[in-house]
């Protein structure tokens, strides 16, 4: 295995255990068959993209609208 391949494998492992929120340990990711590790990485990428889209959609739909003072309320006048 070339040094570049080793780096790629360890990046995949780190991606899996870092983004799984404790669901997959380093040892589990390391001993995982390649096709399952690749599937899990693709699934994580898709899931993170869906979460980002939902967050972007929510943030654009909840933009505050500027409002003036409430109706029928006048400012308080100081006593004379």
Residue 61 lies in a domain: no
What is the DSSP secondary-structure string of 8-74?
A: HHHHHHHHHHHHTTTSS-HHHHHHS-HHHHHHHHHHHHHHHHHHHHHHHHHHHHTPPPP--SPTT--
Q: Is 59's pLDDT higher than 90?
A: no
Q: Give pTM, 2 decimals.
A: 0.62
Q: Is 13's pLDDT higher than 70?
A: yes
Residue 47 lies in a domain: yes
Count of domains forming the chain: 1
**Residues of the domain holding 36:** 3-54
Report pLDDT for 70. 63
Quick one: 61 exposed, middle or buried, by C-beta within 10 A (0-12, 13-18, 19+)? exposed
Mean pLDDT of 22-26: 87
Q: Is 80's pLDDT higher than 80?
A: no
């Amino acid at each position: 295995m070339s040094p570049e391949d080793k780096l790629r494998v360890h990046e995949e492992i780190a991606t899996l255990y870092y983004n799984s929120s404790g669901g997959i340990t380093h040892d589990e990711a390391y001993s995982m068959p390649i096709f399952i590790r690749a599937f899990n990485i693709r699934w994580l990428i898709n899931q993170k993209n869906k979460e980002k889209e939902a967050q972007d959609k929510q943030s654009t739909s909840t933009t505050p609208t500027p409002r003036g003072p409430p109706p029928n309320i006048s400012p308080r006048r100081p006593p004379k």
